[in-house]
Structure 1
Amino acid sequence: MKDTMCGLVKEVNAPSGLVYHTDLSIPEINDDEVLIKVHCSAICGTDLHIMEWDEWSQKRIKAPVTVGHETAGEIVAVGKNVTERKVGDRVSCESHIPCGECYFCKNGMPHICKNVKLFGCTQNGAFAEYAKIRWDCTFLLEDDVTDEAACMFEPMGAGIHGVEAAEVNGKTVLVSGCGPIGLTAISASKTFGAVKVIACDLIDEKLEVAKKMGADAVLNSAKCDLPAEVRTLTGGVGVDAAIDITGAEPALNSALKCLRAAGRLVCVGLPTKPITFHDMTDDLVYREVQLTGVSGRKIWETWEDFAKVMKGPYFKLDQVIGGRFPMKDFEAALAQIHSGVPGKMILYP
């Protein structure tokens, strides 16, 4: 193995927020860690927040740090205490690194660990030729899962988790937002037994993709009265569950009105500012609507559920990948994202 590697480092004063290096030190693993030769990694919205050095990033991230966490690769070294992974294993990584000691970790909720560390955020990540991580935060990949598909486990897990929380079997479901995570939520809803999936977005092209991913009906929220259209599609009742991927105030208020009484609104998308529910009394309280949020993925239930979705008839990987770029050309990938090109951008070291 060579002594140095390439990688993308968040440096506070960098014009684009990231600097491409060719002389980074290859990580030295601890006794409970593995070293991964990265095959490819996808750009996440969190990476964009870190590049922009917004308020969220400034509170959580200590630069310089190698970013990237949606990844797949091969283990090339294991620490002396690691017995359940070996050199040659292909893995993807869970970005939430739980402490194992807090109340939540000890009660089956490590995904909301009180002391969680974040791969590619609070510690160096996968936009590099090599990355290290604690072994129990790696997910073994089956031989028929491609590297690009493996990169989707972590990000698309948020959509899967939303579907799990909505308990969609036998239900009519509304999915708001048809980016990659929303498309995955659509496919997962159908895979896990939803009788009807209605998808909404502001962009017609995304809605066409939603049809390919399993949506039974699609609605452009900018061109219709969404709650009225949903009532028409549901015999005047409303949907049993709504899964919001957008985090946008108008979408959340519309989704609430699209629900039937005693329905469930699952919030997956992250609002970038405080939001207001316009009529919580009539829309939520009097109708006994359930409101819940989801954080990341359940470890490892959500991962196993996404594996089922990938093997099902609805999920289509080519519809959620937007482009492929050498890591050194990351600026071109960012340009595609900022110009509105849909889908995940994949970087190769």
Structure 2
Amino acid sequence: MKALVKQHAEPGLWLVDVPEPEPGPGDVLIRVLRTGICGTDLHIRSWDTWARGAVSTPRVLGHEFAGEVAALGPDVEDIAVGDLVSGEGHLVCGRCRNCLAGRRHLCRSTIGLGVGRDGAFAEYVVLPAGNVWVHRTPVDLDIAAIFDPFGNAVHTALSFPLVGEDVLITGAGPIGIMAAAVARHAGARHVAITDVSDARLEIARKAGADLTLNVSEHPVAEAQRRLGLKEGFDIGLEMSGRPEALREMVGNMTHGGRIALLGLPAEEFAVDWSRIVTSMITIKGIYGREMFETWYAMTVLLEAGLDLSPVITGTYGYRDHQAAFDEAATARSGKIILDWTG
């Protein structure tokens, strides 16, 4: 079968033939229909410091996908050949304290699909049945392919109650944009989002943000002024991983404000801990999705009319992966989809 592989320990990706995987006991073989390109995939393609330490070659990339069940290994129940599915890309041990307590998203031994084991940028992928999410209600294939990052957005946005709250999102990448859509749908009073890319801020407007602010031109305090806020934002969702973004967010929160952090910094940095303490700000780190509570929430949000279509800005056949990755690497695009049906 064809697969997009990190064949060598150097920048680049290679479309090559690899053996089709076979499902073992408890496994599901999935014919891949669509995949989404993630920032993780961009890091691996460029072969940066993180990728060199996290990935061994050769490795089939990809963890955002939708596909059709092609075959079942022994001992698989409640999944049928032909089902439309997505997959939870964090494979957990099932034996640690958190796994045994049902908190699988906190497993210390998590292996990432497309990072620690071969992934979904291929015509077929194998996953444990416990990581397969069956779409029981109709869903667009492109949206099904991005349930993984959509889950990051939902997990972050719904970390704190949003009804009637004023929400600040720093970072208008695809996940930040989806978080804006979720916050708007979940009943926030105002949703403001910041970035340095006007193109991405325009996508965020289409997705439901009330106010977009280019922070290369205006401070975050300008968002407060435009919205008529007198005491600061109630909820902060930090999606960029940028030191200046978190500092600005902390400086514009109300006393007792709550911040959820999804953006992953490249290195350690200082923040004003005195402000955090004296303003009694709560900070919560977010990683991945709650298995599978977040997945239920995603499905229900879509059933209730949440529209994620603005975040998808390009679709390419998998043979055009070079152009697709080039677009995904710009500061102008939303989610880019690879079509594996051709």
Question: Taking structure 2 as the reference length, what is the TM-score of the superposition?
Answer: 0.94
Structure 1 position 86 matched with structure 2 position 80: yes
AA aligned to 2:280 is E
Query: How far apart are residue 216 of structure 1 and its match?
Result: 1.9
Give the equivalent residue in structure 1 for 2:285.
293
**Contact 1:244–1:268, Cα closer than 8 Å, also in 2:** yes
Equivalence map 1:305-320=2 (5 Å)? 305-317=297-309, 319-320=310-311
After TM superposition, give the deviation of residue 224 of structure 1 in Å.
1.6
Provide the rounded CA distance (Å) in 2 between the counterparts of 1:234 and 1:314: 27
Q: Structure 1's 235 and 24: CA in aligned 2 closer, same or farther, altered over 3 A?
A: closer
* Cα distance between partner residues in 2 of 1:91 and 1:43: 18
Name the structure 1 match of 2:338: 347
Q: Aligned partners of 1:313, 1:77: CA distance in 2, in Å?
A: 32
2:224 aligned residue (230, 233, 249):
230
Matched letter for residue 336 of structure 1: E
In the alignment, what sits opposite 1:269?
263
1:37-76 equivalent positions in 2, closer than 5 A:
37-76=31-70
**1:307 is aligned with what amino acid?**
T
Q: Which moved more, 1:145-154 or 1:205-214?
A: 205-214
Q: CA deviation at 1:223?
A: 1.6
CA RMSD, 1 decimal: 1.7
Q: TM-score, normalised by structure 1?
A: 0.93
**Contact kept in structure 2, 1:40 and 1:346, CA below 8 Å:** yes
Instruction: Give the gaps of 5 or more residues in structure 2.
Output: none
User: How do 1:173-322 and structure 2 match up within 5 A?
Assistant: 173-230=167-224, 233-277=227-271, 279-281=272-274, 283-317=275-309, 319-322=310-313
Alpha-carbon deviation of 1:322? Answer: 2.2
Q: Secondary structure at the match of 1:121?
A: coil
Instruction: Identify if the C-alpha distance between structure 1 residues 314 and 32 changes in structure 2 by more than 3 Å, giving closer, same or farther.
Output: closer
State how far apart, in whole Å, the 2-side matches of 1:187 and 1:181 are.
10
Displacement after TM superposition at 1:201 (Å): 1.7
2:4 is aligned to: 8
> Mean alpha-carbon deviation: is it higher for 91-100 or for 196-205?
196-205
Q: Distance in 2 between matches of 1:202 and 1:314?
A: 26
Distance 1:171 1:85, change over 3 A: same
C-alpha separation between the residues in 2 aligned to 1:41 and 1:229? 35
Q: Distance in 2 between matches of 1:229 and 1:145?
A: 35
Q: C-alpha separation between the residues in 2 aligned to 1:312 and 1:219?
A: 28
Structure 1 residues 39 and 287: CA distance shift in structure 2, 3 A: same
Shift in Å at residue 107 of structure 1?
A: 2.1
Select which of 89, 111, 114 maps to 1:117.
111
C-alpha separation in 2, matches of 1:211 and 1:341: 14
Instruction: Work out the CA distance in 1 between the residues paired with 2:214 and 2:337.
Output: 28
Mean CA deviation greater in 124-133 or 176-185: 176-185
Is 1:338 aligned to residue 329 of structure 2?
yes
SS in 1 for 2:151: helix
Which residue of structure 2 lines up, in the alignment, with residue 19 of structure 1?
Answer: 14
Q: Distance in 1 between matches of 2:331 and 2:198?
A: 13
* 1:12/1:53 contact within 8 Å kept: no
Tell me the distance in 2 between the aligned counterparts of 1:256 and 1:118.
Answer: 31
Task: Tell me the SS of whatever aligns to 2:322.
Answer: helix
| 1:233-280 Cα deviation digits (max 9, x unpaired) | 253110111101101011111111111011011111111122221x22
For residues 180-236 of structure 1, what are the alpha-carbon distances to aligned partners after superposition, in whole Å with 9 as ceiling and x for unaligned?
111110111122221221122222232232222222222222222212541562531
- The alignment-based identity, stated in percent, is 34
Gap change, CA 1:129 and 1:215, over 3 Å in 2: same
**Amino acid aligned to 1:245:** M
Letter aligned with residue 62 of structure 1: S
Q: Distance in 2 between matches of 1:35 and 1:150?
A: 17
Tell me, in whole angstroms, the C-alpha distance in 2 between the residues paired with 1:304 and 1:202.
33
The 3-state SS of whatever aligns with 1:299 is: coil
Partner Cα distance (2:304, 2:77) in 1: 32
